Structure 1
Amino acid sequence: MKAIFNNKVVAQSDKTIVVEGNHYFPVESIHRDYFTETTHHTTCPWKGKASYYTINVDDDSSENAAWFYKDPKDAAKEIKNYVAFWKNVSVEE
């Protein structure tokens, strides 16, 4: 699977985990140069507190376009150290 923003592959892995229709990529599969952690957070009742990255490629950015769980609840422990995408990021094979 590939996560693509602004015509650049920002993450690629054949070991994604699908949860609620979202592909979660192993953190080591993201191209860190494109990611900046933000202060934005949301809470999922069963996964826990989500943190976010803004993705910057060339002169374009997508704020809070990737999310991850630093310390997920037990029900979601499989996605610890994984990152998912939305907001102008396409995920495709």
Structure 2
Amino acid sequence: MKAVLEGSVIAEADKEDLIQIEGNWYFPPSSVVAGALAASPTPYTCPWKGQAQYFTVEAGGASLADRAWSYPTPYPTAIEKVGKDFSGYVAFWKEVQVVD
């Protein structure tokens, strides 16, 4: 699967390597193209997943603030609920298309 913005691939991995949580596909950190994400200072803590890290997505001439996020150290109960360790996996907001 691929995460695409303005025709540029931001992340790419086999579907089996992704994790789906609440309708969002989370890509392994190693599948994200270098330079496509810049850490954002925006704070957020999910009640059940833990503290999030937001990113500005930069690709295809576009720069979209807070359109990607990950959970560097999710709560242990969140990992149990999901059934897989999703530490550092990256998800994208709607402007970034996730396609097969």
How far apart are the structure 2 equivalents of 1:19 and 1:75?
Answer: 14
Q: What's the counterpart of residue 31 of structure 2? A: 29
| Bigger share in strand | 1
TM-score relative to the length of structure 2: 0.86
Alignment of 1:23-62 (within 5 A): 23-62=25-64
The answer for unaligned runs of 5 or more in structure 1 is none
- Partner of residue 76 from structure 2, selected from 74, 77, 83: 74
Q: What's the counterpart of residue 89 of structure 1? A: 96
Aligned 8 A contact 1:62 1:87 in 2:
no
1:92, distance to aligned residue in structure 2 (A): 1.1
The answer for unaligned runs of 5 or more in structure 2 is 80-84
Deviations 1:23-57 (A, max 9, x none): 10000000021110110121111100111110112
Moved over 2 A (4+): none
Alignment coverage as a number of residue pairs: 93
Cα RMSD (Å): 1.1
The SS at the match of 2:42 is strand
Aligned 8 A contact 1:27 1:81 in 2:
yes
Quick one: which amino acid aligns to residue 84 of structure 1? A
TM-score relative to the length of structure 1: 0.92
Residues 1:9 and 2:16 aligned together:
no
